[in-house]
Chains A and B, each alone.
Chain A
């Protein structure tokens, strides 16, 4: 979606706050004294602006999904949301951070991380526990803050696409597609149908590799070895399909502004890998010991999911039919089916992943690649415009927003990874659970640290 800066509807603060409640908040940014909210509504993306000085009444009390976005703005630009219930730094931790504490004779605190036992990213988890029961979990991130958004300002440059591809390494295709579509919109071109179809193939392969890997990791967390081993191998097989397509297992170098760098001659044969995946996952989901662990663990209600603005499989597992591929569809291309589940527990999140694996495989096996050129020339970007692009990555809606200055350079670039909305979901899913189930719940969300920290 692209709009000229001067044509964005300006509202007074009261009206603006009201309008933010209609639709799903996707991004919030500050540009030249104006606060810009991007909302996903049934009719499409809308942007609404309001003038602010140094502070404004916080959205969070009425709209909890805004909490991280407001904290980020406060941290980056000093814009204070008055009335924000927990206005602590989002990414720049000071003095080890502040945490809520529960006091009582039986209550104890467990601190996990930022250095973890496995080879994973750094993040700090602070549990308030009564015995094995978790009363409250607070998650402190920011250990990987590396200034991606700031580095993109002044672009696009030759480096920009690489920043996008590495914003969250396991979602390279999603972020690179988002960045490229944004540039294309700002330059007034559209990639050919073929190029967009190749991007979709790569995006679905990325989804397949990660979903299958996650199902295996979920099995590993409950010590169910067969599926853990098989899915570990199959994840590699899916990554190798991406490597066969473009030479890199994570799809780096494939998606570029204007199109794709490599053509796909035909969709690879998926019958064998599909049969193997089906075998591995069905053994897992049919095992009653596994079901006993997955069911009723880490339950999130539909209401909570909606309030927190959850996206992706985590939201769909609560019954929310949110999927950018269907909310903002590319009309001239087919798309995989929308998959939802009920219950919002680990089982539901596993089921949604499995359904999506099947839907992606169906999509890939039925897709006929349209014809068209590989890449189109992307010229100079339109000055003084705002563009927003959303792509449904495997973890949920990846959102990129750019505001160009008068010379057509990025004056502001914001990346909203799905993890931004979903981390609080994990914290709430842990309430009243056993602390020993945390790794399982964590894996069922499998959120990105670097995508959040940027």
Chain B
């Protein structure tokens, strides 16, 4: 059931974020269901492949989508092995996305891949600390919540870490890695990224307030999308080399929570 919800509702989150940003900017904004139209349009198109790409590039979209769906099926959960498996599936997804980017041989995609790996390595630390804190305590912790929010922003390639709206290749992180994908491949990649946002939300929800019903989970997801929209409208993007500091902050917050907890018990 959670798999179906994630698959069907995750593009709606993107629609909500776009709408919130439009509202802040004083515009009417795209329809909430625009991401669905986009995906439908892309699926109906043909794909273009550069001569330098190999089977890796063609396989990657399917693997990425499968990983996202797999992780979505596992959540929400409180069991440590399940959570770790979900995190690992997200890591596997990233691994394949990076492979596909490197497979194109383009300097842009290589830069994007290098940035993605750099930032995700730092974000993972924050995520692991948060896991450790949350699994051994019942009350949600503000510190962990903050850390997880930063991790979600980084992992889902949102402002202030990445800018999903930019057309400037040199500044992109996630977007530049999928520049060469087209048609159904791009649809898979975009959909996988949307599901990943859902998965991250579900992961954060299961850590912070366990035992949510699916209806409550949907509420949390919409709340998260609203929060991301507000953040994206009120801050600018960080300088690329400063992002490491932000992610280190997330790790530090989670580590602090862990420390406080060990002292308390």
Contacts and interface: CB of A to CB of B under 8 A. Distances in A.
Bound pair: A and B? Answer: yes
A32 interface: no
Given A112-B170, A292-B242, A436-B170, A225 B107 contact: no
A229 interface: yes
Interface in B109-153: 111, 114
A33 interface: no
B239 A110 contact: no
A293 B241 CA distance: 11
B236 A223 contact: yes
Contact of B111 (A110, A111, A221, A292): A110
B163 interface: yes
Contact of A287 (B159, B236, B241, B242): B236
Given A225-B24, A436-B240, A111 B107 contact: yes
B167 A118 contact: yes
Contacts of A293: 236-239
A226 B240 contact: no
A223 B241 contact: no
A132 interface: yes
B77 to A, nearest CB: 34
Interface centre among B159, B170, B171, B235 (most CB of A within 10 A): B170
A230 B26 contact: yes
Contact of B239 (A226, A228, A434, A438): A434
Nearest to B164: A223
Given A228-B25, A434-B240, A434-B241, A221 B232 contact: no
Contacts of B21: 225
A221 B236 CA distance: 9
A229 B159 contact: no
Contacts of A287: 235-236
Given A108-B107, A110-B108, A435 B170 contact: yes
Contacts of A225: 21, 24-25, 165, 232-233
Nearest to B171: A436
B236 A222 contact: yes
A221 B171 CA distance: 9
A289 B238 contact: yes
A224 B238 CA distance: 11
Interface string B230-263: 0011011111111000000000000000000000
Given A221-B168, A436-B240, A289 B235 contact: yes
A152 to B, nearest CB: 35
A111 B21 CA distance: 33
Interface string B151-191: 00000000110010111111100000000000000000000
Nearest to A294: B236
B27 interface: yes
Contacts of A290: 236
Contacts of B239: 292-293, 297, 434, 436-437
Contacts of B166: 221, 223, 439
A269 interface: no
A109 interface: yes
Interface residues of A, number: 32
Contact of A224 (B107, B114, B236): B236
Contacts, number: 87
Contacts of B108: 110
Interface centre among A219, A223, A224 (most CB of B within 10 A): A223
B237 A223 contact: yes
Contacts of A223: 159-160, 163, 165-166, 232, 236-237
A228 B166 CA distance: 12
A440 B240 CA distance: 12
Contacts of B232: 223, 225
A110 B107 contact: yes
A117 B167 contact: yes
Contacts of A440: 171
B164 to A, nearest CB: 9
Interface in A6-45: none
Nearest to B159: A223
B237 A117 contact: no
Interface string A209-232: 000000000010111111011100
A102 B240 CA distance: 23
Interface in A283-339: 287, 289-290, 292-293, 297
Interface in A370-405: none
Contacts of B169: 112, 117
Nearest to B235: A289
A224 B107 CA distance: 27
A358 B170 CA distance: 33
A240 B160 CA distance: 34
Interface string B23-52: 011110000000000000000000000000
A289 B160 contact: yes
Interface string A410-454: 000000000000000000000000111111100000000000000
10 contacts: A110-B108, A110-B170, A117-B168, A223-B165, A223-B166, A223-B232, A292-B236, A293-B237, A297-B239, A440-B171
3 smallest beta-carbon distances between A and B, as pairs = A229-B25, A289-B236, A439-B168
